[in-house]
Structures are given as structure tokens and as C-alpha cells.
Structure 1
Amino acid sequence: MEDMDLSKWSINEYLIIENTDDGTSKEMRFDGENFVALKLPSSKYIKAKNSLQRCALDILNNPDITIAAILGGYGSGKTYLSMQMALYNVREKGRASKILGVRETMGEGKEIGFLPGEMEDKVGRFFEPLTQSLNGGEFELQSLKTSGVLDTNIPFYMKGTTYNETIIVCDEAEDLTESQIRLIGTRLGENSKIYLAGDYKQSLLTKTTNNPLIKMCNEFKGNRKFGCIYLGEDVRSETSKMFADLFEK
């Protein structure tokens, strides 16, 4: 640690030290001057399953980070952690008053079209991953919507809006175009922040580093208001992990 060149580290970059003797690990975040301990939510509320998830929780729990990119592969917990921490910051900490779930329904920036019914009828099923990230499922979703704590929208209908005191949880963010990321980000008003959950390897647009989500992360790297972590392990189940690793070699 004493010989470490701190000039090569970016603000909000994480250091993970693994103890090979007992298998434990310790995580620290670089704040621009020193490595500091993580500030995690109460384990009674949510508990990380590995070091990378602890880093993600530190990002999502940091009131100074207003743009959080929680990236990861299949079953890594990116959507669950983002939604649970949005609820934690609203209901437990009072750092915002509302959550807005955002998802691109088509993956290519298209309008939802002329399907029968209202917008809720057209896009409802697209928000099931967010519903599954709630401990109470559909019942909790309806309760949160009725109380005004949670709302959902798609990028096409966000033009001209401003969201104050809001945490935007943007799921499947790897399918957003550059213009959509700019559109959603510029909707943020006073005391608001955005969590972007996604994985460019699952993108319908491009699975390369030219993916707009990855380009955004590279542009914001080193900014105090930005934090990013890639959750590389499938924690959904052992069977899920088998399929996540399939054809990778």
C-alpha cells in the first residue's frame, strides 16, 4: 500500500484485497486522496453476496454519487441491487421522495406503437424485472404506485419532463442509444440521481465497447458524481451460472 502510485487511480475506483489464507476480502474506495472504507447499508436491509456487490452497494449508498452504473452479466444482481437501494434511499434515508423505473421497450428507440390499451397496458410486462426486484412482488409494486413512491416510463414519453427528488432506475440500459441516455440524464432535477443497470454483452444495439452505456462510463470516469462497477458473477443459482458460462470459451 505504501508503494502504491495514487496518481494512477481514479476517483471512486475500488481496491479489493483478498486474503488467500482464509478466503476473506476487504474492499476500499479511492476518494481522490486516500483509500476509504465502504459505507454500506444495514445488513438487516440488504446484504451483498460478494466483494463486487459490496462495492455496488457503496456506490448506491453514496449521497455524493448521482450517476451510478451497475453493470453485470446474467443473474449478477444488478437490477435487484439498484431497485432495493432506490427503495432504501427513499424510504429509509429520505434522500429522495420518488422512484422512476425506466426501460426501453423495443431496444432500438422505437415508439410502442398502436397496441390496444393505455401505455400501462402496452409496456407493463417490460417492467417485470423491476417487479421481481421487489420483495413483495406485484403487491408491493401496486402499493408503491398507489402511494406515489414508484412510477414507470419509457424514454419516448420523457421529453420535456423534469424529475426532482427522484431516483431514476434505468433497467436494461445497454439497449439505450446515445440520444436516449442524454435524454434521460437531462431530465434529472434537484436532489435527483440515476441508477443505470445493464450489460453491453446482452445489448441489442452493439456488444462492443462502442455501446453507448460503455461510452458514457468512459466519459464520466474520474468524476466525483459518477460510480461504476461490473458484477462478474452469476449469483442467481448454480444452474443459472451454468448457462451464463455456456459458449463463453
Structure 2
Amino acid sequence: MSETLAKYFVLDTNILLHDPLAFLNFDEHNVMIPMVVLEELDNIKDRQKDVSRDARVAIRSLEDVLKDATPEQIVDGVPLQRVQGDHQASGTLAIFPDYELQQQESVLSLKENDHRIIQAALELQRKHAPATVVLVTKDINMRLKAKGAGVKFVEDYRTDQLIDDIRLLTKGFYEFPGDFWEGVGDVESRQDGRDTYHSISRELFPQLFYNEYVIDETGEFAARVSGYDEHHVELLDLGYERLMAYDAWGIHPKNIYQGMALHALLDTSLDMVILTGPAGSGKTLLALSAALEMVIEQGIYEKIIVTRNTPEIAESIGYLPGTEEEKMAPWLAAITDSLEVLHKNDESMESSLNYIMKKANIQFKSLNFMRGRSIQNAVVLLDEAQNLTASQLKTIITRCGENTKLVLSGNLAQIDSYYLTAVTSGLTYVTERFKDYPGSATVNLNGVVRSSLAQYAEENL
């Protein structure tokens, strides 16, 4: 392979923390890991944080590739074809000895780790010219600094990005223009117990997914896709009024989007429900009310496990006093607030809350709890899922065992992570990956129902 055709990708530390096997995703090109990245991974691996596990996995993955190589081969590049597993990598992996770099006449001081990585990219750019050298980092500010320092090609890591525009993300429902029945034409209907199914032409739908809801502009028709083939679509007729009449722990839908969400949440045939939408659209309240209904009233599940991603400054909750539940309480205030709303009219709200917490076996858990566990007979409510990466969500989803329902909720406009955007969020990734999975449903809760003030703020700020 000629050097002019081969690209060199310099990876920042956050890439390996985001995806420990990232170096296998650059096809025939060469991957360079600056020595300072290994130093940062070494410093991170012993921290009491979720990220420490990712650092250890990344270190072990690199060691598996480089363990039999000589020092000269490690600097020149070790072929990635020798790595077993399902990947297309045919380039090389090398460690760049950035400690040999001398301070150049530059505004970037080599005392900063980020600057050493940028300087390594500049040195490789000079050494391998005219080959393309690309610095890959999820740090937006570092991308700006690298461009300013003279790195020609700087990119985000987009291997787990499935869409380019968040407006392309599936909403989980399709709004049929006009009156549904006027535009359908031929239809075959059948009765199965209390349920009515309609078979119509697939040509009426621009795209189609299992469990996608269908409504029309008249506000009278509502259905859900129960199956389809090359020519036909089978719809489960739900009825607009029937959806709006749903009840879960005293909560009724305030709009058709909440009606679709409540229908999906109460459907035990669905293992996972994804709720997206703006602040105040009712995601947390609906999820909690449905969970209480299924655990206490219906007895389908045995407990409710509530978790969320804590802010990075508090990834380690050990410094907080009390039990794990008490430590997590500050980060799960949205759940306790929703519980208070559900019982605000009780004679003694505090007694009611204590009774419900015990009766429903509500457990507040940190994400660390999910690792290595198999969760059985539970409803798992994962709030603020927009701040998780695809690999973190995979860890949680794969923990769900028999008779477990997972509810992911998040607002892609409120991402707090330094490295995630709406299109690279794990919530976006999972929504796209599972949009045609028969055991899941997605509902985007259009409209703010919290208050007129909240709605105006969402629309105008």
C-alpha cells in the first residue's frame, strides 16, 4: 500500500474511553496512539468511576494487539489483521513516542496532555506528507485548538453515528395526511378477540417499522403496525378515544402522544420503550405511573429499578452520605417529584410515598449496579438517557433478563456530556438500532404539558 493512499488516524484518549476497540474501525488505514494517551489511560484506570472500566478495557485491547511485537514494530506499526474477531481492519496500529517531541515555537505548551497529542499529529503530518493525517477527538475545544495549531484534518469519531441530522430520527409514529380512511382504498379487516386488525397496501407508507403508531390529521384514527410484508401492512386498530382513555395510577393522557406512550408502556409484550421529547412533555411521570400500575395493581413485575447517568463531577457517589439509594436521591429528584405529583392529594403524602416505595420495591441504583448483574422481574426506568454513550446503553440493555421491561427516556436538546451531541448520543443510536425490533417501541412526546410557561420557554428560548 503506498503511503500516499494510506491515511494516518491519531486517536485522542476520549476515543478509546468512548469505544475501547475504536482502533479496529479505520479499515485499511493506519492508527497512531500517542504515548501520552497511554499515560492518561493509566491514570484513569484506578479511579472510582465508571470511566475507569473503559480505560482498563482499552489497555487490555491494546495489549492484545501489541504484546508479541518488538519495540521497533510497535513504533513502525503492527498489522491489525492479526486481531481475531469481526472487523475489517487491515491497516496498522502504532504507538507514537511523543516524549521525544521538542517544544516548537508554538502557542501550545507541551506541558498540557492535549497539546502533546496535537503536536504529535503535527509531527506525523510533517513526517508522512503528503499522506493525510487525521486527528480524531470527541473534545470540541481540542478540535478547534488543533485546527488553529495547523492540523489540516480534525474529526469527531462517528462510527456509532447512524444519522447526520437529528430531524431524521424516527419519532415512533407516522401522521397520515388528511383522513386515514379516505386515502386507504382497499382494506381487509379481521377480528381477534377484542382486537381489530386492518390489512392495507404498503405503498401508503414512505417507510415502516414494527410497533410504529399511525394517526391521522382528523384526530379520530389511531393504530399500531403489528406486522408487514413486501406488499401489505397489518395495523392493530387502537382508536383515538381508546388511547385517550388509558389510565395508569390515576394518570390520563393529555394529548395523543402521551396516549401512544402510555399504550406502549402498559404493553407487556414490549421489552423496551423509548420516550423522547422536550422537558415537560411527561416522559418521567408517564413511565413511573405505568411502572406503579404494572407492579402494584397488576402484579406483572416485582420491583421498580430507577437509575440515570450522574454528572461527571459526581460519577463516584461514594462521598455522599447514606445508603446507595440515599446517595442517588439527589440525581433522581425527577422521580421523587413525580411520586409527589401522583400523591399530592393524599391525606398524608409522606406516608403514602413511604408505603408506595416499599410496596412497589422502588430501588434507586447507580449505573455501576448494572454491570455484571442480571435483572429479573423488574421495570427499569433509565432517566436522562441522552447523556449516555452507545456502549453504556448496551451494558444496561444486556443486563435485562426474563420478565423485565426497560424504559429509556431523555431529551436530546439537554445533553450535558462534554463529548456527546444529539446525533452521537447513545439514545439516538439505540432509537435507530431498535426502531424495527418487534419487542420495542419509540414515542416522541410532542408538546409540553407541564405549564404554559414551560411550553413558551421550550418554543422560544
Q: Please confirm whether the aligned pair reaches a TM-score higher than 0.5, indicating the same fold.
A: yes
Deviates further, 150-159 or 99-108: 99-108
| Secondary structure of 1:239 counterpart | helix
Deviates further, 83-92 or 1-10: 1-10
Q: Contact (CA 8 Å) 2:324, 2:364: kept in 1 or not?
A: no
1:128 aligned residue (321, 326, 333):
333
Deviates further, 145-154 or 54-63: 145-154
Equivalent residue letter for 1:228: T
Deviates further, 144-153 or 45-54: 144-153
Equivalent residue letter for 2:236: V
Distance of aligned partners of 1:59 and 1:107 in 2 relative to their CA distance in 1, 3 Å threshold: farther
1:143 aligned to 2:342? no
Deviates further, 233-242 or 180-189: 180-189
| Secondary structure of 1:190 counterpart | coil
Distance of aligned partners of 1:174 and 1:128 in 2 relative to their CA distance in 1, 3 Å threshold: same
1:214 aligned residue (411, 428, 436):
428
Once the two structures are superposed, the pairs formed by residues 159-170 of structure 1 within 5 Å of their partners are 159-170=371-382
1:190 aligned to 2:398? no
1:5 aligned to 2:203? yes
1:15 aligned to 2:214? yes
Once superposed, what is the RMSD of the aligned Cα atoms? 2.3
How high is the sequence identity, in percent, across the aligned residues?
29
Q: Contact (CA 8 Å) 2:324, 2:366: kept in 1 or not?
A: no
1:240 aligned to 2:445? no
Contiguous gaps of at least 5 residues in structure 2? 1-183, 186-200, 229-233
CA distance in 2 between counterparts of 1:180 and 1:235 reads 30
Query: Once the two structures are superposed, what CA deviation does each residue of 1:127-178 show, in whole Å capped at 9, x if it has no partner?
Result: 1111122212673443233336211101023222221110001111111222
Aligned to 2:310: 105
Q: Contact (CA 8 Å) 1:14, 1:55: kept in 2 or not?
A: yes
Distance of aligned partners of 1:42 and 1:246 in 2 relative to their CA distance in 1, 3 Å threshold: closer
CA distance in 1 between counterparts of 2:220 and 2:452 reads 22
| Secondary structure of 1:65 counterpart | coil
TM-fit CA distance, 1:81: 0.5
Aligned to 2:237: 37
Distance of aligned partners of 1:17 and 1:190 in 2 relative to their CA distance in 1, 3 Å threshold: same
Aligned to 2:368: 156
CA distance in 1 between counterparts of 2:331 and 2:422 reads 24
CA distance in 2 between counterparts of 1:117 and 1:90 reads 27
CA distance in 2 between counterparts of 1:233 and 1:244 reads 9
Once the two structures are superposed, the pairs formed by residues 59-70 of structure 1 within 5 Å of their partners are 59-70=264-275
Q: Contact (CA 8 Å) 1:107, 1:176: kept in 2 or not?
A: no
Equivalent residue letter for 1:133: S
TM-fit CA distance, 1:123: 2.1
Query: Once the two structures are superposed, what CA deviation does each residue of 1:176-215 show, in whole Å capped at 9, x if it has no partner?
Result: 2223212211221111110011111111133322211010
Query: Once the two structures are superposed, what CA deviation does each residue of 1:3-62 show, in whole Å capped at 9, x if it has no partner?
Result: 65267321111111122xxxx343211111411123757447331111111111111111
CA distance in 1 between counterparts of 2:247 and 2:370 reads 35
CA distance in 2 between counterparts of 1:9 and 1:128 reads 37
Q: Contact (CA 8 Å) 1:106, 1:112: kept in 2 or not?
A: no
CA distance in 1 between counterparts of 2:294 and 2:227 reads 25
How high is the TM-score relative to the length of structure 2? 0.49
Aligned to 1:202: 414
Larger helix percent: 2
Q: Contact (CA 8 Å) 1:108, 1:175: kept in 2 or not?
A: no
How high is the TM-score relative to the length of structure 1? 0.88
CA distance in 1 between counterparts of 2:323 and 2:445 reads 36
| Secondary structure of 1:36 counterpart | strand
1:227 aligned to 2:432? no
Select the structure of larger CA radius of gyration.
2
Deviates further, 151-160 or 187-196: 151-160
1:87 aligned residue (289, 292, 297):
292
Contiguous gaps of at least 5 residues in structure 1? none
CA distance in 1 between counterparts of 2:313 and 2:257 reads 30
Deviates further, 109-118 or 207-216: 109-118
Q: Say which structure, 1 or 2, has more relative contact order (CA 8 Å, 6+ apart).
A: 1
Q: Contact (CA 8 Å) 1:25, 1:51: kept in 2 or not?
A: no
| Secondary structure of 1:86 counterpart | helix
